Structure 1
């Protein structure tokens, strides 16, 4: 299977996702968060650093669930136009339950 190169918009979205997850994780160790989400710590590091800008939906959902983020809030944050951000340091949807 040939994978097409990512567009600049996809790369930017991946970087926004990584930044959001890092903010939401706060001081919580990568290892604890990754194990709770049932992914490897290296996978979480790669997502947070933007090296994996298009992780699988199930992976995002698992991490968001562990961090208490709403998937709607995650999507709203990563889909913002370039340069547009939410309130400084805010984590949208933090503490909201994921719909099951």
Structure 2
């Protein structure tokens, strides 16, 4: 299966997600947080740098738990650009 290139919006959302995770990590080492989340330090480094704009849900969920972040907050970062109202489905 061929993966389509990411849109500029998806890339921007990945950068917002990475920035939030990096801020939440604070003074903790990248290796420490990655180990607790069960992912490689290189994976966490790529996510924080915005080079992995669409990480797997399980990865995001593990990081959210380790960093005491709400999945709702992280989802909000990926659904909206700064200053925009959240996109919500009626469903």
Task: Tell me the TM-score normalised to structure 2 length.
Answer: 0.87
Choose between structure 1 and 2 for higher RCO, CA contacts under 8 A separated by at least 6 residues: 2
CA distance in 1, matches of 2:83, 2:32: 31
CA drift at 1:73: 1.2
* CA deviation after TM superposition for structure 1 residue 54, in Å: 0.2
Separation (CA, whole Å) in 2 of partners of 1:84 and 1:26: 24
Following superposition, the deviation at residue 80 of structure 1 comes to: 2.6
TM-score under structure 1 normalisation?
0.79
Listed as ranges, the gaps of 5+ residues in structure 1 are 86-100
The runs of 5 or more residues in structure 2 that have no matched partner are 85-91
Aligned length: 84
Matches within 5 A, 1:47-58: 47-58=47-58
CA RMSD of aligned residues (A): 1.3
Write the distance in 2 (CA, Å) between the matches of 1:15 and 1:39.
19
